[in-house]
Amino acid sequence: MSRLAGDLHYAHPRTRASAWAIEWGLPGCEVPREHVIEWTCSCRTIRYELIAGAGAMWIRRFEGDQVLETHRTAAALIRELWADLLDGDAA
Ligand SMILES: [Zn+2]
């Protein structure tokens, strides 16, 4: 049995009933040199990407075929939100 194929996991956001709800909207337009900074594990039904581009940052949420995004805003705010998401304080 190979350990390579199945054992590679990335961050798993915690789940808490008390999490406040992030306001998700439809994805904005693609920007040049948009890049993914961090991401959560694809073993979960819902996965997230932390994205930077055009002087802003935002989080993208994937669930099946549905793609949603947060507002695109200042890096510091989105990094705080990303930390809340991973800790289960926001969802
Ligand atoms: Zn995983």
Q: What is the pLDDT of residues 31-81, one digit of tens each?
A: 888 999 999 999 999 999 999 999 999 999 999 999 999 999 999 999 999
5 domain-assigned: no
17 domain-assigned: no
Give the Å distance between the CA of 47 and the centre of ligand 1.
10
**Which residue range is the domain that position 46 belongs to?**
25-87
| Residue carrying the six token digits 């581009």 | 53
37 domain-assigned: yes
49 domain-assigned: yes
Give the Å distance between the CA of 40 and the centre of ligand 1.
8
74 domain-assigned: yes
pTM: 0.89
| Cα–Cα distance, 20 to 71 (Å, whole number) | 16
67 domain-assigned: yes
- Structural domains counted in the chain: 1
Give the Å distance between the CA of 49 and the centre of ligand 1.
14
